[in-house]
Chains A and B, each alone.
Chain A
């Protein structure tokens, strides 16, 4: 069991780093603040989740593993609320989202 977890841990961490890199690429390439927030909230959260999962697999005890996963949960909550706050502030300051089919589809 422990050997199996130790075997998959590096793969999880490597996958997490890939998602972090994809998130950074999105931050660089996406056209406006709203799309960039997508890159930060989704790709980076998934990257951190995989990283934490990989580290939790290598943890010495169950409680230590849960502590690492707790970090991920707290970051999820913080980044999700932070993204909405940034997006609503940007909209209130008059930054229009760059859309292909007009400004507002419903």
Chain B
């Protein structure tokens, strides 16, 4: 048995201040530079504006004396998400498309349900991932598919998405590919997708 010598202590890790791309971890040493950088990433204008909008909506524009501390504490405590890296114009362009798809999806299911003779062409198809990388984008697409006409995600696999189609048409697979390209465009740091 060789007990560790008491003099063998690790040197403290170097401070990671100044990096804005990655979230600096709060160090136990209390280095002021890293603490400021840690807070600056969390208190960005976009996060504060989003939380302020949410507070305004939830409280219907009152109780700001409570709201300001709540917003600040929430901004500091909320973990950083990948949302800030999304491409805003692409997100805004996706919103009407998603609403239109949800409208068409609802109308299609309602019409199918109200038909006197139930005539479904259900099928289970595989959608192979072509341009969407592994990560939140695929989860987002798997959720969005449940809203678009006639498709329901059954299984999310590493190489494909298993989709249940209520009423299979030749356009279904093409629509899925178009949707995948649209979602891939949300990520600004990704290279141009044709």
Residues in chain A within 8 A of chain B (CB atoms): 18-19, 22-23, 25-26, 29-32, 34-35, 37-39, 41-43, 45-47, 49, 61, 63-64, 66-67, 70, 76-77, 79-81, 83-84, 87-88, 91, 97-101, 103-106
Give the Cβ gap from B61 to chain A, nearest Cβ, in Å. 5
Q: Is the CB of A105 within 8 A of B125?
A: yes
Q: Which residues of A contact B143 (CB under 8 A)?
A: 77, 80-81, 84
Instruction: Tell me the B119-137 residues at the A interface (CB within 8 Å).
Output: 120-126
- A74 CA to B131 CA in the complex, in Å? 28
Interface size class of B (residues with CB under 8 A): 35 or more
User: Nearest chain-B residue to A47 (Cβ)?
Assistant: B106
Residues in chain B within 8 A of chain A (CB atoms): 56-61, 102-103, 105-114, 118, 120-126, 142-144, 146-147, 149-150, 152-156, 162, 164, 166, 168
Q: Which residues of B contact A34 (CB under 8 A)?
A: 122, 152, 154, 164
Give the Cβ gap from A33 to chain B, nearest Cβ, in Å. 10
Q: Is the CB of A67 within 8 A of B113?
A: no
Contacts beyond the supplied A46-B106, A97-B154: 18 A-B pairs with Cβ under 8 Å:
A22-B110, A23-B109, A31-B122, A38-B152, A42-B106, A42-B109, A45-B102, A45-B147, A46-B103, A63-B57, A63-B59, A76-B102, A84-B154, A87-B152, A88-B154, A91-B155, A91-B162, A106-B125
- The prevalent SS among residues of A at the interface is helix
Q: Is the CB of B153 within 8 A of A87?
A: yes
- A9 CA to B178 CA in the complex, in Å? 34
